[in-house]
Amino acid sequence: MSLSPEEKDDLMDVIEIIYGYDSQMSAYKNNFNEQTVEAVEQAIAGLIKCNSDMKTLVVNLLGGAHYTTSGWLKKAIGALKKALDREKIKFNGLACRVVAANNWKSTIIMSTY
């Protein structure tokens, strides 16, 4: 199943919150798919391990559901994007963003092929 244009937009917004604006990532937005969602989900899981603010947001958003259950991002992508916009989550430090960028950026891009 492919992503709707709205889901692609929301996913791009979530990616920008993680990485900041990245013209390379933005160029692949039209090719975002289920594999891209899974790659971003893994990146967020890495951030959750590193960042207590992100963990709190995701756990609260999912109502206590176990956030590492595969597929949670597809179900919550719109709500997560809105919550991130509203909450303006502050990552605990640059280190969390660097780890996420180094570990998952190429995986996210490769998922679009």
- How many angstroms separate the CA atoms of 47 and 61, rounded? 16
Higher per-residue confidence, 1 vs 41: 41
Tell me the C-alpha to C-alpha distance, in Å, between residue 68 and each of 41, 50, 81, 101: 9, 14, 18, 19
Q: How many residues does the chain have?
A: 113
pLDDT tens by residue, 11-22: 999 888 777 888
Q: Binning pLDDT at 50, 70 and 90, where does residue 54 land?
A: low
